[in-house]
Amino acid sequence: MNPPRPSWMRRLLRTTLAVLFILMVTAVVLRQPVWGKQPPSPASVAPGRLEAHVRFLSEACHPRHHLARENQRKALDYLTAQLRAAGGRIERQEFSTPAGPYENVIAHFGPEDGPRYVIGAHFDACGIQPAADDNASGVAGLLELAALLGREPSLPAHFELVAYNLEEPPYFAGPSMGSAVHARRLREQKVPVALMLSLEMIGYFKDERGSQSYPLPLMGLLYPSRGNFIAIVGRWDQRKTVADFKRACVGAADIPVVSIAAPAFVPAIDFSDHRNYWAEGYPALMITDTSFLRNPNYHQPTDTADTLDYRRMAEIVKLIHAGLLEHARHAENGGK
């Protein structure tokens, strides 16, 4: 007969089991695990084209901050030409600020009356930095996504691709952000949006242990220590949106995918253009390499084209393309 355990041991055991259970539930809720994978995407994305876009924006248009009017014009003309060449129906969305007029570039693909998917990336830069990852990488991904959509024989939805101006300071979090203007106008026009994706820094990857950090220390227990993945970031009350899009794209490309449905107290979850669609009541996600939580070149002169991984960027574009088509077709079939 074994002697009974002391009461303090029983309490310790119960506490330990409770903590493990809470961690497990937290991991499931935050990370949105997905069972099953999509088949590999047959789409082809050339890393060299992504690099050419990044180099044009970060070198030929350097600097491209809000006061660099000539370089901004050069970037706008380049984006317009690339999106038109991909087959997009183009509009230049003008808006006013106290400093004068600015523009977004919009390209429409697919049926006019289909459910609306908005995919955006900001092309302006913070100060005089080259801003290759932030955010020439996201814009390059947007342009190559446009090329893939333009080659589709038919599209299951209306895809609206937007290159935003004025995401960076001093406009960040204010009403003159290009994405804030765009989101408000969609709401004013009563346009239903099935999903918005913000492509915010998608080019920097590291395979070494410890290369990835997180805004809260405990997140390191739930997420990888290697900065070799792409992240899908959503809001706590849009957990299903995160899970549905992740389910639509995981497996389609050769890149690890992690996700978070983040409570409001988690820092940095709204540090891009998707925040403005949340403000208008639209479902929105950020697709990101996690920015300054991984990339030491964030808002530095060292954020150059040579620091990015264009092969993995190509896989991300394939992933987003496949995920959007699958998500739209799933919605078209009533979620079946």
Residue with the two structure tokens 């660099």:
68
Which tens digits make up the pLDDT trace of 136-167? 999 999 999 999 999 999 999 999 999 999 99
The predicted structure's pLDDT at residue 23: 64
Cβ atoms of residues 156 and 109 within 8 Å: no
The predicted structure's pLDDT at residue 199: 98
Which tens digits make up the pLDDT trace of 264-319? 889 999 999 999 999 999 999 999 999 999 999 999 999 999 999 999 999 999 99
DSSP 200: E
The predicted structure's pLDDT at residue 176: 98
The predicted structure's pLDDT at residue 26: 67
Cβ atoms of residues 142 and 199 within 8 Å: yes
Q: Is the pLDDT of residue 10 over 90?
A: no
Cβ atoms of residues 144 and 45 within 8 Å: yes
Domain edges within the chain: 30-332
How confident is the prediction for the chain on average, in pLDDT? Answer: 94
Which tens digits make up the pLDDT trace of 17-55? 776 666 666 677 678 788 889 999 999 999 999 999 999
Which tens digits make up the pLDDT trace of 241-268? 999 999 999 999 999 999 999 988 899 9
Which tens digits make up the pLDDT trace of 73-132? 999 999 999 999 999 999 999 999 999 999 999 999 999 998 899 999 999 999 999 999
In whole angstroms, give the CA distance from residue 323 to residue 124.
Answer: 26
Fold for the domain defined by 30-332? Aminopeptidase (3.40.630)
Taking the CA atoms of residue 65, residue 70, residue 76 and residue 78 in that order, the dihedral angle to the nearest 10 degrees is -120
Residue 335 banded pLDDT, cuts 50, 70, 90: low
Residue 336 banded pLDDT, cuts 50, 70, 90: low
- The pLDDT of 210-219, averaged and rounded, is 93
Instruction: Give, in order, the Cα–Cα distances in Å from 47 to each of 132, 197, 233, 313.
Output: 15, 21, 25, 7
In the chain, the amino acid numbered 186 is L
Give the count of beta carbons closer than 10 Å to the beta carbon of residue 23: 13
Residue 221 banded pLDDT, cuts 50, 70, 90: confident
Residue 178 banded pLDDT, cuts 50, 70, 90: very high
Cβ atoms of residues 201 and 295 within 8 Å: yes
The predicted structure's pLDDT at residue 33: 82
Residue with the two structure tokens 């394939």:
318
